[in-house]
Chains A and B, each alone.
Chain A
Amino acid sequence: MHDLGIATAIAAAHKDVPSGLLPALHGIQDALGHIPPEAVPLIAEQFNLSRAEVHGVVSYYHHFRSAPAGRVLVQVCRAEACKSMGADALLAHAADRLGCDVHGTSADGQCSLEPVFCLGLCASSPAIAVNDEVHARITPALFDAIVEEARSAS
């Protein structure tokens, strides 16, 4: 099925759930990796909302993305507990190693780098998540190994 067809079907499945918009958006992003801007009017129609309202929700939350990420999504925690254990240097290392800025995607489209505010691993800092899998007590060498494994696996 076409991406927009999938998005519409997921929205339709949630339209009668009380406050189903967020679960619908999660469903669409889980299925497609992002929420295509072209799908916004179709989602709005299912929920009997304006396009502006749906766009407002998608753009408000950090979790939702309007463009696909690279196959390897690297999130580096930059909250206080991780900062106290060198998260800033780790983030700089990550940008250097992945070849992209924070919030960016590498030139080959393989890896995306994002900051995250707390993975709940504050006693095992610094922490990262790679494609939703968490890793703690990260050193630059460990970072390289984890990313390399994710690159070759995906």
Chain B
Amino acid sequence: MFRLPSFPLYATLADKLGWWAVRALCVAVLAFLLAPILVMVPLSFSESSFLAYPIHGWSLKWYQNLFESPEWARATRNSFIVAPAATLIATVLGTLAAVGLSRADFRFKGLLMGILIAPMVVPIIVVGVATYLYFAPLGLADSYLGLIVVHAALGAPFVLTTVLATLAGFNHNLVRASLSLGETPLNTFFRITLPVIAPGVISGAMFAFATSFDEVVVTLFLAGADQSTLPRQMFNGIRENISPTIAAVATLLILFTTSLLLALEWLRGRRA
């Protein structure tokens, strides 16, 4: 990857310099992408209560602070209530719809697809305000249910598109064979189709999970203090007084999402 290039004989000095300039820019861009994230990790182990370098002493007190704080505990619990519930709804509904869309061509299919992936396109602030104004009179604002269903709606298009992509390479003869051998459609789905498309379903579910897990704008509008999630707690923390506790949360979140991503890459390898 990093071996020296073998320039063709006709390459001029300017060409070679240009090549190196582009590589340098690329490395700089990669550093720009990664460095800010890595910067947070050491600070979370710093003794000082200032979020600044250089670090003079090391301590785990910010993690202790984090684990003993009732607000962060509640936010963590809420995140792990809302995100899995939203993921479950999004995955079931999204997979069903993807199977339906891949099975037959019908009129208005393009329009239907457009409607089903609309949540990906609508600006999140519009979703936040619209659901807040609509759900509040119904008693769904400041409730887990309201938050879960909106997060599920935001995540479902990711499941739909991921599963559709997986189904594009699915051999429908397997289903025909199973049906012609007398298996019921339901059993065929669970014993033939689902195992084959499982990597797609799981990566779609992970997208839905990440969508809910990182969502803050709808949560700001729709959740009461009792339903505050990790991102919302971070939003408040950053706005009021950014402390090393935020760095500790950030470090844990980086660990968590990186492992999600690596799992996803592994699944993609299996799917391909």
Chains A and B form a bound pair: no
Instruction: Name A's B-contacting residues (CB within 8 A).
Output: none
Instruction: Name B's A-contacting residues (CB within 8 A).
Output: none
